[in-house]
Structure 1
């Protein structure tokens, strides 16, 4: 009779899957084929917050909310992983306030409130790119057209 070798799942492998309080013990247990209680033991040892179904861990600041939804690409552009307007415009909602992701990223990148509408710089041809250096406001456009630096 042949014996079947069952792969051993280490605590480190369980810990890799417990990335935050937004990941349930059950989902990790099912994925790795281990018991829920074993995943819970590892979670407690790592002192990770307990998963609460249907609850997201709220961001502490709008900067954190922006960074959590911003995915930088290798080619210098950035994608928005958060919500979008039906026409595709990236949106940020945080603590009851909503604005376009372009305005939020602009403020974070340049450290000031944008003047007028935000648009992509002429060199950026990626639709809905949210890389800070690819965004410009009216003041920057006016300066560029006048021959000044951004």
Structure 2
């Protein structure tokens, strides 16, 4: 037998106000209640209806990348766009999705990366193109160290 949990209007309102643009469905799922109940609370307190946002339409991979990242001190770049559930930053352009690291590498180096792309700087999550390395670059650096 499943226990029925009562959810107060205050709890629903708190969840609606927890983020910048929280959907009725997200709050309903959180509490296991109907979307309609959340919408009723939203209307009762005078919050505007939730309107699902449209993703910006980018003209190129470069536009998509720069539109979802920002330069920060020291030549690094912070990702402000979409992430996968595991936290990896991803760039969507037309019908394709690639990691921001691979896109940054390609835009900076003018070629596709070979193997995994890793950061050469110590700033977690940095997506600056000049701070991304592929297998070829790592092997060249390793050979240089051995000489």
Q: Residue 88 and residue 61 in structure 1: after superposition, are their counterparts in 2 closer, same or farther (change >3 A)?
A: same
Residue from 120, 133, 149 that aligns with 2:130: 133
1:83 alignment partner in structure 2: 82
Deviation at 1:61, TM superposition (A): 1.2
Equivalences, count: 94
Deviations 1:38-74 (A, max 9, x none): xxxxxxxxxxxxxxx8444411111111111121102
1:100 alignment partner in structure 2: 99
Name stretches of at least 5 consecutive residues in structure 1 with no aligned partner: 1-52
Structure with greater helix percent: 2
- Would you identify which runs of 4 or more consecutive aligned residues in structure 1 move more than 2 Å? 53-57
CA contact (8 A) 1:88 1:128 kept: no
TM-score (norm 1): 0.58
Deviations 1:81-127 (A, max 9, x none): 11112221111111110110000111101111001100011xx1111
